[in-house]
A and B are shown apart, each in its own frame.
Chain A
């Protein structure tokens, strides 16, 4: 940990100028569920249920540990969901019941995604 700007209050996502290692070059193809998350973000925000800044705000508030331990689209679906609940599109109880129902369909993504 060297050369961190000395500003008290700097937030974890505000990375410019921080020390870091070599730029990693490994690349992965996006999977279907990731593309669906991306599509849900674009559709729900274009319809005015939340904004890109609302998404960013939740991602930032999720904190650095989430950045280090969750994948990009894992963080995105968490942030999309948070914004949709805040916007009143559905309730936490509706989400909870649906997630339980989804998990009951099977043990793989393919099974759980098939109603």
Chain B
């Protein structure tokens, strides 16, 4: 890494993707200029920008998995989460910023799936940045019309007796799905259960892993 300056390392100390060495693009040129102008104008500082990047990097599906696993094991927390997911996740210690969150619980008869048809709204302050497919034309277009076909592409086939509820994140709320707790996990502690909770299961394009698949 010939240009491995210290301020180009991720918070973990590892280099980011080695795009430092690629030819400068017009939009990268703009990013550098905008960032420097914002610092010069006193809007922000280099440290604040780095801190914001660290904050986002620290957010990951593991946070959501911990929330789900606790909901599976703690009746009062589950009730609080369904009543006000923002407050419940904050009370659990997660910094979700100003995000307004609704938790959607899957049951034997209900399967929830989340999409943003107008842009790419996502519960990023809990789960981190969205996967690329979530922002794709295909996912945004098709999920509200043929959710079961989209689910099938993710390997999820639901019986006709299950109602699929699609949630289009059109405005101020963000959504996290509470997948069903897998069979064969009686007596498991929350930390172990959390390892079964995938990112996709909290978007609704997946199910929680089963113990034998974990």
As a 0/1 sequence over residues 114 to 148 of chain B, the CB contacts with chain A under 8 angstroms (1 = contact) are 01011110000000010111011111111011000
A77 lies within 8 A of B31 (CB): yes
What A residues does B5 contact at CB under 8 A? 110, 114
Complex CA gap A110/B3 in Å reads 6
Bound CA–CA A17/B38 (angstroms): 40
- Interface size class on chain A is 35 or more
Q: Which of A78-115 contact B (CB under 8 A)?
A: 78, 80-81, 84, 89-90, 94-95, 98-99, 101-103, 106-115
Question: Cβ of B52: which chain A residues have Cβ within 8 Å of it?
Answer: 38-39, 42-43
Given the complex, which residues of B lie within 8 Å of A71, measured CB to CB? 27
Residues of chain A with a CB closer than 8 A to B20's CB:
32, 108-110, 113
Query: How far is the CB of B144 from the nearest CB of chain A, in Å?
Result: 5
Chain A residue at smallest Cβ distance from B146: A17
What is the CB-to-nearest-CB distance from A18 to chain B, in angstroms, rounded to a whole number?
Answer: 4
Cβ of A65 under 8 Å from chain B: no
A-B contacts, 26 of them at CB < 8 A, read: A13-B119, A15-B118, A16-B117, A17-B144, A20-B142, A23-B138, A28-B17, A29-B17, A31-B17, A32-B19, A33-B31, A35-B53, A36-B35, A37-B31, A38-B53, A42-B52, A59-B119, A81-B34, A84-B34, A84-B37, A103-B29, A107-B24, A108-B24, A111-B24, A113-B32, A115-B36
18 more A-B residue pairs beyond the given contacts A16-B117, A74-B27, A89-B41, with a C-beta to C-beta distance below 8 A:
A15-B137, A16-B115, A18-B142, A23-B154, A24-B136, A27-B132, A30-B17, A32-B10, A32-B16, A32-B20, A39-B56, A49-B43, A89-B43, A90-B37, A95-B37, A109-B28, A110-B20, A113-B32
